[in-house]
Structure 1
Amino acid sequence: MNNTPHWIPSAFIYHLYPLGQTAAPQENQFDQSPEERIAQLYPWLDHLQWLGINTLFLGPILQSSSHGYDLADYFQIDRRLGTNQSFKTFANEVHRRGMRLILDAVFNHSGRDFFAFRDLQQNGRQSQYLDWYEAVRFDHPNPMGDPFDYQTWAGHYTLPKFNLANPAVRAYLFQAVRFWFEEWGIDGLRLDTADHVRFDFWQELRRVTSSMRPDFWLMGEVVHGQYQQWADPQHLHSVTNYEAYKGLYSSLNDANYFEIAHSLQRQFAEDGIYRDLMLYNFVDNHDVNRVASQLKNQQHLYPLYALLFSMPGIPSIYYGSEWDISGQRNTYSDQALRPAIDLHHLIRNAPEAKLPASIQKLAQFRADTPALQTGSYRQAQVSAQQFAFWRETDKQKVLVVLNSASDVFTLSGILIPEHLQLQRVFENQSDFRFDHDQLEVNIPPNWVSIFVFE
């Protein structure tokens, strides 16, 4: 864990997408005055603190053409949300409440309204920003009607790819990072499409942010590949754990805990390939279907979140999912994943009314239990609908026992290490007994039993 800032092991991250939550227009009108929607986010802070959140991760907030990832200005808050000053006031309030603030950063590409791309459109081969973008060529037009072509992100011509080998591009982007830090006091960055960016760029960014503050956190969006290519002491601190993401819900849908058990064993066991990394764990986000739309049985939300808060790594919640709201992307849009939510209505009328309190209890138990934050991982038992594992430090050993069946399940035969005393039990459960050095426990349906030994 030597590549992890001191505050990350205890972090509980809430991912909020401001452009969606505030019902901002889908297209930006740059010639219009700022519209103060940031104020709509203040009521959320009370809810986040009640839930146990200590780190707020905001989706894109900088000036963009539409969805936030097609940036037009790296130094201005999106006018659909407000101004730099109104965001500074909000950031100060987040920090006053003792929470950390993470921003979404896009370095792989810009939007077409970015000043350098506008200059390229106007001046063509004579543009001083010709080499700010990759693979610009004038032998054929692009699908957007410009008399030149260029590299894009994933074939999206609204997202021209930066030439990050160009020192001038790097200097501009790093200047922006320093500005965000100095103006808003941010504590870290989520790095969009990190697996499409050259490694030496991340290496230089790490040097820049470490010089600003040694505990500044860098977390990359990585969908495929070996995570330690990005997460190491020279590059990023963490990446998104997409490898575990699918198994978290499909192991429940298929009554097959072996699936997620295999992933966790591969990642975090004694010889696990990521045992020294603190990965960013999630069950949904702004790019994938809501977990409520993925699960066949909504009662499985409870063992799902129990695993999220007890497995190695950093737990995160995507806004609204704590109430079991649904949402599915389609071929043309992710808008259904990024809705405007009536906070107070959902607090009173949640689809799954007991879920927020359950998440709150899990978050508090994790916060009070060091082994659930930094402990090693050791599998104890696994079957189709039951899964048990240990999280262990030198001073504390925690046994987690999950049950995704609709009935109480009696699990026996789990060996308790010698010389350990039971200190705490999650929710003060009492339906268990010790037979010499073995534990027998009745696990509630679709829930979890957690035992803390010291």
Structure 2
Amino acid sequence: MPPENLLPEPAWVHDADFMHVYPLGACGAPATNDFQSVPAARLDRLLPWLDAWAALGVNAVYLGPVFESSTHGYDTADYFHVDRRLGDDAALARLVEGLHERGMKVVVDAVFHHVGRAFWAFRDVREKGEASQYRNWFAGLRFGARNRFGDPFVYQGWNGVEELVKLDLRQDAVRRHLFDAVAHWVQRFGIDGLRLDAADSIDLDFFDGLHAFCAGLERKLWLMGEVIHGDYRNWVRPGRLHSTTDYALWKALWSSHNDRNYFELAHTLKRQYAAGEGMYEALTLYTFADNHDVNRAASLLKESRHLPLLYLLLFTLPGIPSLYYGSEWGQQGRKEGGDDRPLRPPLPEPPGPPDQPPGLRAAIARYAALRHQHEVLRRGRYRELLVRSEQLAYARELGTESVVVVMNASDKPSDLVDLAMPGGVEGEWVDLLEPTRRFSLRGGRLSLGVLPPTTGRVLRRA
């Protein structure tokens, strides 16, 4: 039996296909919070999209910041109230209920590294100075000097940004407040997990404490950290977090297409997931093509014809795949002068604009369906079969089950593709994406012939 303070990874995570939504942008909320307006239930604007997401194969939703903040959501003012620009508790409860009714899990953004200057305890420090009982809640807070806002004290901010006030997570009172907020989210809304913002900037022992606290909750949460750089094994281990973001794979997915260099992607995959030697072979990482902080996949790729291939990779490689709202139809978006708002536009009414390239949504739904239908794509080992500049083949293997994925990213037909598969089950193999296409495995070799331009195949024993 596991120790009582160990929070097992929820089983549903291995079967999850995520939709990531940034509510303040998707719901068209005002850029700033006046902290006076009556709550406006803009979260209801997401409700008409739930069936469309379900049709894509989505069964889990990660909601960006939904609690009271000053501007973009990552400058929290109050962890216990829904941002009035999005609505009130009832609005968030309606959304979570609608998702749960469709069998979707709900993960919320937990911004615990820092707060905004409007955070109630920081306001108390601004008003009372050294007499504030909360002066120890904030990292590096020191009186006797002035910050750029004119306060008679200085403090640490996230990456030096003074609008984002770093919490001192070593303080028991701070931890109790944050953990109480998590308990409130579970009890009031029935959430299923936390995405821990800026996890690579937080002391690891904080996550150990959070894990132990969550192990005692009535609902078992999934804990996933935002980690951009570092060895993910530092965060993902028993008694700490269950998963992190996989930025290494994100980068390789798009740049290997732009550079016509699948060797980069193959190197990343071998380093991370190769059977018996991959660093993260035992981990279940959160994978994505884009998100609220990086340029949209459709804007990153030099050629839109590569978008379906990128998503085929996302749904057939190891990890927990996540779509970012709007990217399923090829939404464009680039940061402009450090401004993230172009990445976070309002959602239109369903079904949204036409796909670019045409058929992208249907392709993504097909890839998600394959992942749901074949356990080997969700839990199988990764094995490299072939690497060329613009062709890549790999196997996912689970017990006696094998699925082979083959990619041709070139705008020209490939040379003959003949895959060495010693021990593979001989006979006919079928392309699950195009079932009329059949291929033979004889003498330990799977002969695919010439691959058409910009094509992917997902092969299984017929």
Equivalence for 1:136: 141
Matches within 5 A, 1:334-413: 334-344=340-350, 346-347=352-353, 349-409=354-414, 410-413=416-419
Equivalence for 2:315: 309
Deviation (angstroms), 1:185: 0.5
Q: 2:266 aligns with which of 255, 261, 270?
A: 261
Q: Could you tell me how far apart the structure 2 residues matched to 1:258 and 1:367 are?
A: 28
Q: Could you tell me how far apart the structure 1 residues matched to 2:240 and 2:436 are?
A: 43
- Provide the secondary structure at the position in 2 that maps to 1:52: coil
Deviation (angstroms), 1:429: 4.6
Equivalence for 1:445: 453
- Provide the secondary structure at the position in 2 that maps to 1:433: strand
Deviation (angstroms), 1:406: 1.5
Change in CA separation of 1:161 and 1:50 when aligned onto 2, cut-off 3 Å: same
What residue identity is the alignment partner of 1:320?
Answer: G
Equivalence for 2:437: 430
What residue identity is the alignment partner of 1:300?
Answer: H
Q: Could you tell me how far apart the structure 1 residues matched to 2:452 and 2:14 are?
A: 28
Pair 1:244 & 2:256 matched: no
Q: Could you tell me how far apart the structure 1 residues matched to 2:331 and 2:207 are?
A: 35
Equivalence for 1:219: 224
Matches within 5 A, 1:18-33: 18-33=23-38
Pair 1:201 & 2:206 matched: yes
Q: Could you tell me how far apart the structure 2 residues matched to 1:340 and 1:425 are?
A: 38
What residue identity is the alignment partner of 2:443?
Answer: H
Unaligned runs of 5+ in 2: 1-6
- Provide the secondary structure at the position in 2 that maps to 1:292: helix
For the 8 Å contact 1:416–1:439, the answer to whether it is kept is: no
Pair 1:296 & 2:302 matched: yes
For the 8 Å contact 2:428–2:440, the answer to whether it is kept is: no
For the 8 Å contact 2:39–2:85, the answer to whether it is kept is: yes
For the 8 Å contact 2:235–2:244, the answer to whether it is kept is: yes
What is the CA deviation profile of residues 310-345 of structure 1, one whole-angstrom value per residue up to 9, with x for unaligned ones?
A: 111111000011111110012331000000121436
Pair 1:282 & 2:288 matched: yes
Change in CA separation of 1:301 and 1:143 when aligned onto 2, cut-off 3 Å: same
Equivalence for 2:52: 47
Q: Could you tell me how far apart the structure 1 residues matched to 2:267 and 2:436 are?
A: 28
Equivalence for 1:166: 171
What is the CA deviation profile of residues 228-280 of structure 1, one whole-angstrom value per residue up to 9, with x for unaligned ones?
A: 00011111000000111111001001110000100000000120110000001
For the 8 Å contact 1:219–1:238, the answer to whether it is kept is: yes
Matches within 5 A, 1:224-239: 224-239=229-244
Deviation (angstroms), 1:435: 3.9
Equivalence for 1:148: 153
For the 8 Å contact 2:426–2:441, the answer to whether it is kept is: no
Unaligned runs of 5+ in 1: none
For the 8 Å contact 2:426–2:442, the answer to whether it is kept is: no
TM-score, normalised via structure 1 length? 0.96
What is the CA deviation profile of residues 58-117 of structure 1, one whole-angstrom value per residue up to 9, with x for unaligned ones?
A: 110100000000000101110001110121122111101111001011000111111100
What residue identity is the alignment partner of 1:316?
Answer: S
Q: Which stretch of the first structure deviates more once superposed, 414-423 or 270-279?
A: 414-423
Q: 1:87 aligns with which of 74, 92, 95?
A: 92
- Provide the secondary structure at the position in 2 that maps to 1:412: strand
- Provide the secondary structure at the position in 1 that maps to 2:352: helix
Equivalence for 2:337: 331
Instruction: State the number of aligned residues.
Output: 452
For the 8 Å contact 2:430–2:438, the answer to whether it is kept is: no
For the 8 Å contact 1:432–1:440, the answer to whether it is kept is: yes
TM-score, normalised via structure 2 length? 0.95
Matches within 5 A, 1:177-188: 177-188=182-193
Deviation (angstroms), 1:302: 1.4
Q: Could you tell me how far apart the structure 2 residues matched to 1:418 and 1:107 are?
A: 49
For the 8 Å contact 1:380–1:414, the answer to whether it is kept is: yes
Equivalence for 2:41: 36
